[in-house]
Amino acid sequence: MSELVARTGRHQQRYENGYRLVAGCVPFRYKNCGDSSSEKIVEVLMINSPSGPGLLFPKGGWENDETVEEAAAREAIEEAGVRGDLLDCLGCYEFRSKTHQDEFSPEGWCKAAMFALFVKEELELWPEQNTRNRSWLAVSEALGSLRHAWMRDALERFCKWHEDKFVS
């Protein structure tokens, strides 16, 4: 059993102007191409959702006792069982949650800050491993597998960020 425990409940949840504040990340790594070249391809880590089809990036509520960066790193551990270097913010994305409507956000509106996370460690045990599966995918495959349009936008922003930061 995992010694890490996922946070639950909404008593520490942050809200702003009717939006539930959320933090998440696009976890990535480099994989060697199969040939003898030193070329590497970028893979992103995606997780399934217990509430429906399609794949997601780890994300969840940003709580009052943590920074947005700490929340993004925590969600990566809780939902995907990975740790690494949290790099730049890829942007903020607004979306409507069908499963997280409450008195502070009755329409279910959320605002997510998404970060790039360079994965350095995959945990064997993690808090949500009984309800989540992880999958490493090439970016092109991930774009076609994402459940939400706003996450596709975040992945496209990640691709531009990665190219500007590491390729150019």
For the stretch 22-69, pLDDT in tens is 999 999 999 987 665 677 899 999 999 887 788 999 999 999 999 999
Q: How far apart are CA 87 and CA 94, in angstroms?
A: 21
DSSP strands (E only) in the chain? 15-16, 19-32, 40-49, 52-56, 59-61, 82-96, 109-122, 134-138
Task: List the beta bridge partners of residue 45.
Answer: 136
The three-state secondary structure class of 160 is helix
Domain containing 31 — which CATH number? 3.90.79.10
152 domain residue, yes or no: yes
By the 8 A CB rule, do 151 and 57 touch?
yes
Report the domain count for the chain: 1
The predicted model scores a pTM of 0.88
Task: State the residue range of the domain holding 56.
Answer: 15-167
Q: How far apart are CA 8 and CA 61, in angstroms?
A: 10
112 domain residue, yes or no: yes
Could you tell me the CA-to-CA distances from 109 to 21, 61, 168 in Å, in that order?
9, 12, 37
The three-state secondary structure class of 75 is helix
Q: Is the pLDDT of residue 8 over 70?
A: no
23 domain residue, yes or no: yes
Give the residue-averaged pLDDT of 70-82: 97
1 domain residue, yes or no: no
- Looking up tokens 């990535």 gives 28
Q: What is the pLDDT of residues 109-144, one digit of tens each?
A: 899 999 999 999 999 999 999 999 999 999 999 999
60 domain residue, yes or no: yes
73 domain residue, yes or no: yes
7 domain residue, yes or no: no
